[in-house]
Structure 1
Amino acid sequence: MEPRFLLLSDVAAELNVSDSQVYHMVRSGELPAIKIGGRGQWRVERARLEEYIAAKYAETAAWVAKNPLVDREDEA
């Protein structure tokens, strides 16, 4: 069974980005997370990560639709 909450380093590994990029995403509010424990350690709920990934797929699809790939032969 997968854990409900992930360390930021686990999220970074899942997204194949750096730990500092994930920390920035959390601190900016882009990726929902919670602080727990006396030392205020960040955790990302797996369900929130999956929602974030789904939203990024939708955002990317919208961008692709608005920015179609132009065949270089058509430019000539």
Structure 2
Amino acid sequence: MIIGVCVFSTANLVFASIGGNRTPKPPGIEVTVQAGDTLWEIAKRYDEQAHMSTQELMYYIQQENQLTSAVIHPGDVLVIPLES
């Protein structure tokens, strides 16, 4: 019985490691930046739905999207923490 448990545990580890190479997609929706958009305006647009202040959401968007500043460009795709 102990051998059976060991074999079963090893099989679980192997199968878990096979599927473990995928990077999980962060929860949220994707928003494409339009001409004239600012990070503040985008955060303001979604702050209530995200249950965050505009400033908190701006920080989240910068962190989640690996932005080094608040500068965004048309065509950028940003993840916003909302259920799709």
TM interval, short-chain normalised: 0.3 to 0.5
Q: TM-score, normalised by structure 1?
A: 0.35
Question: Comparing both chains, which one has the higher relative contact order based on Cα–Cα distances under 8 Å and sequence gaps of 6 or more?
Answer: 2
Decide which structure has greater helix share.
1
- Which structure has the bigger radius of gyration? 2
